Amino acid sequence: MYTRVQPLNCSQPQPLNFKNARRDLNGLSAGLERRALTWLAERTPAYLNADHFTVLGAISMLLAGASYALARRDRAGFLLATLFLGLNWLGDSLDGTLARVRDRQRPRYGFYVDHMLDAFGTLFLMGGLALSGYLDWRVAAGMLVGFLMLAIEVYLSTYTLGVFRLSFWKFGPTEVRLLLAAASVTLWLKPAVKVAGTPFRLLNFGGCVAIAAMGVMLVVTTALHIARLYREERLP
């Protein structure tokens, strides 16, 4: 005798047992950053909410990319990019802190929106750097691929292990912004750098180092997580 299976009613939304993952942020600046964001969140006017800062972060990253593209014609673009990187940090970091301080969290919405905007923002940033003429487009493409591969690993490990890692080896998004801002100011002050009489492209060197570092992080963390999941779900 066959048991009749009731068809799924797709018109009725099914409840999701969503579990908010534990955040793991231990970058070099994490302690100071956490205190600063909490201080800012506690003093943010009531008419501003987390969505306002999410929009600020997204628009700032788009304008940072546009500023790097502008640097091809005017080196002032590097200073503008540094300014917008700072605004991106404010918007991208303060939105979640503000939601937690006010107890107005939307875990699924926030996780999805923030990280899709991060993907688009990185695309804009790498595109702008490639158009600047100070970074080879192939290096920019390699950095974009490296970021997206790491992002995939982070999102999969968040789902399977319940831990959302925001930094690798004391290095997180804030440290990346600081390094990029420092490189931008350096290029504004002295765009042409020579080593032993040979022209040296600072962003190309930094980009190649970043690609190599992301590759090592990806391989190591993937191997560790595969081993952990294998142990936790070992078959009898």
8-29 per-position pLDDT tens digit: 455 555 445 666 666 666 667 7
Residues forming beta bridges with residue 193, ordered by sequence position:
200
Span 30-86, pLDDT tens digits:
678 788 888 999 899 999 999 999 999 999 999 999 999 999 999 999 999 999 999
CA–CA dist 125, 45 (Å, integer)? 30
Is residue 2's pLDDT more than 80?
no
- Per-domain residue ranges of the chain: 46-161+171-232
Contact 72, 45 (CB under 8 A): no
How many residues are given for the chain? 236
Could you tell me which of 165, 179, 228, 227 has the C-alpha nearest to residue 207?
179
Q: What is the CATH number of domain 46-161+171-232?
A: 1.20.120.1760
pLDDT range class, residue 175, cuts 50, 70, 90: confident
| Strand 193-195 relative to strand 22-24, pairing | unpaired
pTM for this model (two decimals):
0.82
